[in-house]
Amino acid sequence: MSDDQPQTPYLELLAHGAPVEAYERPVLRARADGAPPERLADLEYAKLLALRVRGELEGRRRREAELSALFETAHDLAGLRDLDAVLQAIVQRARSLLATEVAYLTLNDPAAGDTYMRVTDGSVSARFQQLRLGMGEGLGGLVAQTALPYVTDSYFDDPRFQHTRSIDAGVLDEGLVAILGVPLRLGSGVIGVLFAADRRARVFEREQVSLLASFAAHAAVAIDTANLLAETRSALAELETANEIIRDRSSVIERASEVHDRLTELVLRGGGVHDVAAALAEVLGGSVEFTEAPDCPAPAVDRSHADGHAVRQGEDWIAAVHTGGELLGALVLRGQPRLDPVDQRTLERAAMVTSLLQLARRSAGEAEQRVRGELLDDLLDAPDRDPRLLRERAARLRADLDAPHVVLAARIDTAGPGEDGRRATAGADPDQAADRQRLWSAATHLAATRHGLAASRDGGTVLLLPLGPSDSAADTARRTAAQLGTAVSAPVTVGASAPVPAPAARPGAVAEAYAEAQRCLSALGVLGRAGQGAAAEDFGFLGLLLADSRDGSRVGEFVRRTIGPVIDYDARRGTGLVRTLDAYFACGASPVRTKDALHVHVNTVAQRLDRVARLLGPDWQSPARALEIQLALRLHRLADTVTR
């Protein structure tokens, strides 16, 4: 084509990518050169065609650049794995693609029924960044509700949207005017809205709307992928946690199985409670101790006994060892305050095994105690038995009948005040029979540990226990009442006799002592002291009434206990303190009349009475002490008369 053709200059302009204003120059030049109208018309037509081609080429280049940017963005999004990073990249690329001042993204909240601001780029308003849009509210709410793109050149002047005070305040605070919103579609649903916005009036072209919609489609897939990856990571973390728990549980179950096997072996080979404690400590760690019932920590062991589970007390764990309603003791685990539930169950199972071992030991012990009971029955019912045979039988039971002993009468006492405290033996109900059996079991266990004897008798239990060098009958009675009461979880009343020096040497003394112990037991019931223990010496001169009147030693013991220091002083010094006391009480406690009766000076009487106070104590003239002293003086005088 020659240069005189009208298309030639425009082809050159198209080839060089000349600006729009350059396309006017060929027409202007031809007009200046005086070209004919036909030539000018051809140039005008060629210009229009060239501009149309230029516009098409420019559109295609722009479309190619947009698609290239879209694909680059999709590639970049595909490489991201963190949801926050994906969302931030989406808004940044959207802002860059459309060359807007602000881009932001909201996500739908199905639970709340709205869409909320998730991430922004270019935003400066805190209020805008915290907006929540109800479905159908504002431009974003409308896009989220309809799943269609919406665009506005001037938001506040657009009546298509439901304006609300909070949304308009946020948009105004951000200064936005022109807004384009496209849905983030995933399948048939909408998960959010992607926005591009400017703070000035602007017309978003159809191609820009299409471009942002295409980008939103990639973004939705990227969000879904990131969510799936996050869920997968979370599931993997949960699975790992579950695996850790399973491994821990497996370890715990293996330990529990090991304990079970070891406890079974212990039971089969006849091991004891301390073997159980040692095996449990080795598997659970810490230290394990078996505590007898009287020494158990009361509040914790009571809770464990009541609900059948191990309980925590401070840094320790307590598991009650019991059978039926009877507490046998407790396993105490120390050094493991954070006990695993399975290990806690292991401790409880060990307590059950311990109770079985205790019952087995008790069964064997009860067989032995029946033999002990038969020996005590012979001492009570057949005092003419050969002492040598009694000693041999006692030696087989590791009892020493040549040592001092005390006889104790015990019963579970439910009698009310004013009753004599005796429980019927004929026609007793099953509960009473069960009480007597529990008391006998506890008493025989106590007798075995003390190397004594025990037997069931007269609706209660009788015990023959050795006395230590520092023990008294009264202390033994009180201690025995407390121990038996704890063992049977009921009040146990115990009456004690005076000490029996050597039961084997004088077997008949045991029956006499038992009668005295029963009288003390009855006295405790009359006095309303159920659940306590006492001996005749606890009742003062009333003890003489409780003691066997045929036994003169009881009278002598009372006299010695009451005025023995005064008698001994007279014997050593040759004084007349006993005679002075007799005269003093006979004269109505008047020193003046006493000096006349004794034919001494009143100061002498005063000095002697001071000496008596030092020997008997400052309260010797109190009514109760004075009564016992006068009775002791009378008995002492009668004894001297009989002796002479």
Q: Tell me the percentage of the chain whose pLDDT exceeds 90.
A: 18
Q: At what angle do helices 623-643 and 577-586 cross, to 10 degrees?
A: 120
Residue 182 and residue 37 in one domain: no
pLDDT, tens only, 129-182: 999 989 889 998 899 899 999 999 999 999 988 999 999 999 999 999 999 999
250 occurs within a structural domain = no
Confidence of residue 127 (pLDDT cuts 50, 70, 90): very high
263 occurs within a structural domain = no
Overall residue count recorded for the chain in this entry: 644
> Does residue 517 carry a pLDDT above 90?
no
pLDDT, tens only, 228-254: 766 777 777 777 776 776 676 676 666
Domain finish residue from 548, 577, 604: 548
**DSSP track, 222-262:** HHHHHHHHHHHHHHHHHHHHHHHHHHHHHHHHHHHHHHHHH
Residue 479 and residue 535 in one domain: yes
Residues 266/276, Cβ–Cβ less than 8 Å: yes
Residue 23 and residue 90 in one domain: no
Residue 540 and residue 565 in one domain: no
Domain finish residue from 175, 208, 232: 232
CATH number, domain with residue 313:
3.30.450.40
pLDDT score of 416 = 44
Residue 439 and residue 533 in one domain: yes
Beta-ladder partners of 290? 331
303 occurs within a structural domain = yes
Residue 528 and residue 585 in one domain: no
pTM value?
0.38
pLDDT score of 256 = 65
Average pLDDT, the chain: 80
Instruction: Among 423-427, 486-490, 634-638, name the one with the lowest average pLDDT.
Output: 423-427
Q: Looking at mean pLDDT, say which of 103-117, 235-249, 266-280, 444-458 comes out highest.
A: 103-117
Q: Say which residues have a Cβ less than 8 Å from residue 229's Cβ, sequence separation at least 6.
A: 81
Residue 539 and residue 559 in one domain: no
Residues 166/141, Cβ–Cβ less than 8 Å: no
Confidence of residue 426 (pLDDT cuts 50, 70, 90): very low
Q: Tell me the percentage of the chain whose pLDDT exceeds 70.
A: 81
Beta-ladder partners of 192? 107, 184
> Does residue 186 carry a pLDDT above 50?
yes
244 occurs within a structural domain = no
pLDDT score of 425 = 40
pLDDT score of 169 = 93
**Residue 171 domain boundaries:** 80-232
Residue 486 and residue 559 in one domain: no
Helix (H, G, I), strand (E, B) or coil at 394: helix
Better pLDDT: 114 or 56: 114
pLDDT score of 572 = 92
Residue 91 and residue 204 in one domain: yes
419 occurs within a structural domain = no
Q: Say which residues have a Cβ less than 8 Å from residue 589's Cβ, sequence separation at least 6.
A: 621
Max CA distance (Å), the chain: 185
Residue 499 and residue 565 in one domain: no
Residue 96 and residue 221 in one domain: yes
Better pLDDT: 69 or 110: 110
> Does residue 19 carry a pLDDT above 90?
no
71 occurs within a structural domain = no
| Separation between Cα atoms, residue 571 and residue 442, nearest integer Å | 49
Residue 291 and residue 174 in one domain: no
| Separation between Cα atoms, residue 609 and residue 54, nearest integer Å | 145
| Type of residue at 422 | R
pLDDT, tens only, 353-401: 777 776 766 666 556 666 667 778 877 887 777 778 878 887 887 888 8
Domain finish residue from 518, 548, 578: 548
* Residue pointed to by tokens 């001037």: 154
CATH number, domain with residue 453:
3.30.70
Helix (H, G, I), strand (E, B) or coil at 617: coil
Q: Say which residues have a Cβ less than 8 Å from residue 323's Cβ, sequence separation at least 6.
A: 355, 358, 359
Helix (H, G, I), strand (E, B) or coil at 321: strand
Instruction: Among 76-85, 456-465, 573-582, 621-630, name the one with the lowest average pLDDT.
Output: 76-85
256 occurs within a structural domain = no
424 occurs within a structural domain = no
Indicate the number of domains in the chain. 5
